[in-house]
Amino acid sequence: MLKRELTDLWIGGRAFNLLLIYSALLGIISYNYSFSHDLNRVPAQEAVFEMLKNATAFSMFIGLIIGADSISGERDRSTLESLLLTPVNRSHIIIAKLLAGISPWPAAYLIALPFLYVLAQGNAVLGPAMLWGALTGTMLVLGYTGLAMLVSFWSSSNKVSYFVSLSIYALLLVPVELSGDGPDITGEFLQWLNPVSAVNYFLSKYLLSHRPVAEYWPWLVSSALLAVGTVVLLLKFAGSRLRLEPGLRRKIRVALRNVIGLGVLVGLFAVTFLVTPSYAFQTGTGRGQEIELSIDSKFKQVKMGEMVKFSTTITNRGVETSTPLIVALNVVTLQPNGKGVDPEEWSSERTKYIQSLAPDETIKLDWLITTGLHGDYIIYLVVIPQPASPEATTFPVASSSLYLTVIPTTRLQPAVVLPFALGVPVFLLAITFVVYRRRRQQIDIGDPL
């Protein structure tokens, strides 16, 4: 069955046609990076990251097209009944269709590799991007193809199947924007829940911000759950219940609703413990003053010369009104033997003054800095309660740090990209032509009637 499904998909033309369009799109995107004045200054890591996102998104779309047609299409074309009339196990039919449905992914991934290579421009990001791109892409494509197959299984027609699958695809691709990286549990949970945005978040932290995998692996949970969950549902439910009529029986609908509800609860619970933002609230006490200081970002990555905005929140947790407070900005380079940074070169407003804070009063301060040389930096704020007298002392309170990575700008040359942008689609076209020609030799055109 698998051999037949693969033959239908590849020799029949759908897979090659979709991959041709996919390779042409990747070629256009990569050429645009070199040709556009704005885009060709994008750092290599960012270009690779964006290409990986696009390749995965298009591959998921290919999986959608194939998965959404897999069962409802057979019903519409009246070919499902003859298949169900054979003694073939229903689960085997589902497995064969699923494996055939994800078969374009390895080809799509291989097609993306030359584009990743040329955009990486020798940057070390290429290796990790290839590895994690393969892993995360496989989970997403498998999960989404399986999801489209489930929709196809339940849909009353192919049109409904395509519509629902496309709607889910559009929903998954809508980015869930958080307000910076601030402590927004709901927004972060939604971002975690969406497998596509969660994977993109993970990749951005790993590839762009050089964060360790151990710190962000929970962001891969939702995509893994999607992949495993859809496969289990396909085998357990769709496999044994595959029949001519579409739709779910009532008790299965109820069971599915319970499973989804339970999944949402588990997800909420999981993200509370796994992904709770660990924003550091530093509390300092200074002789009866309890000042709480937080910064709204943990890390950022920018190009040389770009501006960085962030905010600090200062709260008086004490029982008395505070003395006047001075908030000072500090920038420290992480490069060993690197030169010291004069914050005044980065920001025209290095300190800010707060008259006082009543008990439980909070104030938010905005900061704007302009980056200097490329490198890794730590930015932190210090709140200094004004001493009562020249002879008195005070206890400054420091915030958690903002890790700032400043990237050198690079330029991508069109002449370097063009051979790949044209060559890959042409190569694929040549393979398609050879396959079709071979197929044509196997069949007898004959008289139409």
Partner 1 sequence: MITNSDPVKSISQPEILVAEGLRKSYGPRKALKELTFSLKAGRILGFLGPNGAGKTTSIRILTTMMEPEAGHFVIDGISSEYPEQIRQRIGVLPESLGFPKQMTGLEYLIYYGQLYGRTASKATEKAHTLLEGVGLQQRAKSLIGSYSRGMKQRLGIARALVNDPVVVFLDEPTLGLDPRGQRELLELVQRIARDGNASVVLSTHLLSEIENICDDVLILDLWQIVARGSVSQVIGRVQKNIILKSVLRIHVPPLSVTKAREVLETMPNILRISQIGELEGSLSLELMASDNGDMAVAYEINNKILSSLLRAKIPILRFEVEGGRLQDIFLHLTEDVIQ
Pick from 219, 206, 213, 220: which is nearest to 405 by CA? 206
Q: Does 79 bind partner 1 (CB under 8 A)?
A: yes
Q: How far is CA 101 from CA 17, 68, 74, in A?
A: 14, 10, 14
Touching partner 1, residues 220-249 (CB under 8 A):
243-244
- Secondary structure element (H or E) that encloses residue 161, with its range: helix 158-173
Between residues 65 and 120, which has the closer beta carbon with respect to partner 1?
65
Between residues 13 and 343, which has the closer beta carbon with respect to partner 1?
13
How many residues touch partner 1 under the rule CB under 8 A: the total is 26
Between residues 170 and 445, which has the closer beta carbon with respect to partner 1?
445
Q: How far is CA 6 from CA 15, 76, 100, 238, in A?
A: 9, 20, 5, 20
Minimum distance between the CB of residue 252 and partner 1, rounded to whole angstroms? 15
| CA separation for the pair 10, 8 (Å, rounded) | 6
Select from 5-13, 42-50, 210-218, 338-346 the region that touches partner 1 (CB under 8 A). 5-13
Select from 8-16, 30-38, 170-178, 357-365 the region that touches partner 1 (CB under 8 A). 8-16
Q: Does 251 bind partner 1 (CB under 8 A)?
A: no
Q: Does 389 bind partner 1 (CB under 8 A)?
A: no
Which residue from 82, 337, 348, 393 is in contact with partner 1, where contact means CB under 8 A?
82
Neighbours of 219 (CB within 10 A): 26
Q: How far is CA 260 from CA 141, 223, 225, 229, 265, in A?
A: 20, 15, 12, 11, 9
Q: Does 446 bind partner 1 (CB under 8 A)?
A: yes
Q: Does 441 bind partner 1 (CB under 8 A)?
A: no
Q: What DSSP character marks residue 411?
A: -
Minimum distance between the CB of residue 1 and partner 1, rounded to whole angstroms? 7
Which residue from 17, 28, 41, 81 is in contact with partner 1, where contact means CB under 8 A?
81
Which residue from 12, 277, 305, 338 is in contact with partner 1, where contact means CB under 8 A?
12
Contacts of 242 (CB under 8 A, 6+ apart): 71, 84, 90, 93, 94, 153
Pick from 411, 205, 407, 412: which is nearest to 305 by CA? 407
Q: Does 11 bind partner 1 (CB under 8 A)?
A: yes
| CA separation for the pair 70, 148 (Å, rounded) | 9
| CA separation for the pair 63, 145 (Å, rounded) | 5
Structure tokens at 369: 């800095």
Minimum distance between the CB of residue 63 and partner 1, rounded to whole angstroms? 21
Touching partner 1, residues 83-112 (CB under 8 A):
84-89
Minimum distance between the CB of residue 442 and partner 1, rounded to whole angstroms? 7
Which residue from 337, 389, 393, 442 is in contact with partner 1, where contact means CB under 8 A?
442
Which residue from 17, 41, 77, 258 is in contact with partner 1, where contact means CB under 8 A?
77
Q: What DSSP character marks residue 390?
A: T
| CA separation for the pair 3, 96 (Å, rounded) | 8
The β-bridge relationship of strands 299-303 and 402-407 is: parallel
Q: Does 252 bind partner 1 (CB under 8 A)?
A: no
Minimum distance between the CB of residue 75 and partner 1, rounded to whole angstroms? 9
Q: Does 444 bind partner 1 (CB under 8 A)?
A: yes
Q: Does 8 bind partner 1 (CB under 8 A)?
A: yes
Q: How many residues are listed for the chain in this entry?
A: 449
| CA separation for the pair 180, 202 (Å, rounded) | 15
Select from 81-89, 207-215, 363-371, 404-412 the region that touches partner 1 (CB under 8 A). 81-89
Between residues 157 and 278, which has the closer beta carbon with respect to partner 1?
157
| Adjacent-strand bridge partners of 402 | 379
Minimum distance between the CB of residue 10 and partner 1, rounded to whole angstroms? 11
Token pair 């599915």 is at which residue?
A: 256
Between residues 8 and 360, which has the closer beta carbon with respect to partner 1?
8
First to last CA, the chain: 29
Touching partner 1, residues 269-298 (CB under 8 A):
none
Positions touching partner 1 (CB under 8 A) are: 1, 4, 8, 11-13, 77-79, 81-82, 84-89, 243-244, 442-446, 448-449
